[in-house]
Amino acid sequence: MNSLFAQLALADIHKDVARNIVSLLQSQDLFDDLTDNPAEGLLAQKMEDKIKPSPYHSRTPIIDRPFEDAEWFNAISWPFKHWQASRFSDGTHGVWYGSESVETTVHESAYHWYRGLLSDAGFERMTVIAERKVYSVACNAALLDFRKAADEHPDLLHSSDYALCQSVGARIHREGHPGLLTQSVRRPAGENLAIFNANVLSNPRHNCQLTYRLEGDQIVVEKQPGVAWVKLDVANFS
């Protein structure tokens, strides 16, 4: 581990990066399948409000608008408040993932979406549709640059074994580094950012809405309804 970190340089990042998350195009009543009684639905909504995380407070509340609370939480805060295991986390700390382009986020997220379908009652054999939203988020940070480290440490780009990456993430979290820059595993031409400190992220803005459609052995991604933008063969998801 020490030899790996000894060879790292810093990447000075001051640009927008893309963050791809699950998001419905049209909002839905999450409790409409629980009860037809409006009073009971209102009670469920009140209970949800009580357990929601504290809202984001802008440093310039006079000029900001209420919708910025939701955008900040969706685009930035969520992974820092809801820890889960991932490539650079064993589940004991939060990591925010973004990419240099929307297309790279599509390759990354489509892989994990499909793997989730495989583990969920055979949905991979059906036509399945998912909606996602991409945000542009400003990143200003000196990130540890792992893009060349994989030449000597190929497990950094292993498709499914995250042991080395999670050890790297644990050290970065422990030592307080803001994050890292690495080659995308799912799209080698792309780059991913793993951020451990939310303070280096700001100014979330809506970039685009995407539809993922699993049809047979392909995932078809649309930016415009009915118009294929990216097609991915699931046979390549090793």
Looking at the 3D structure of the chain, how many domains does it have?
Answer: 1
Global pTM value = 0.81
pLDDT at position 36, please? 65
pLDDT of residue 191: 98
Residues in Cβ contact with 152 at an 8 Å cutoff, skipping those fewer than 6 apart: 4, 7
Task: Tell me the pLDDT tens digit for each residue of 207-234.
Answer: 999 999 999 899 999 999 999 999 999 9
Residue 193: per-residue pLDDT: 98
pLDDT of residue 38: 65
Q: Give pLDDT, residue 127.
A: 83
Taking the CB of residue 69, how many other CB atoms lie within 10 A of it? Answer: 15
pLDDT of residue 150: 92
Residue 238 is predicted with a pLDDT of 73
Which pLDDT value is given to residue 67? 52
Q: What is the mean pLDDT of each run of 10 residues along the chain (238 residues)?
A: 93 98 61 62 61 51 55 92 96 98 98 86 72 97 97 95 98 98 97 98 96 94 95 91
Q: Report how far apart, in Å, the C-alpha atoms of 145 and of each of 17, 191, 238 are.
A: 16, 11, 26
Query: Nearest-CA neighbor of 35 among 27, 24, 26, 43?
Result: 43
Can you say how many angstroms the Cα of residue 73 is from the centroid of all Cα atoms in its chain?
13
Give the pLDDT confidence score for residue 26 in this predicted structure.
Answer: 47
* Structural domain boundaries enclosing 201: 2-236
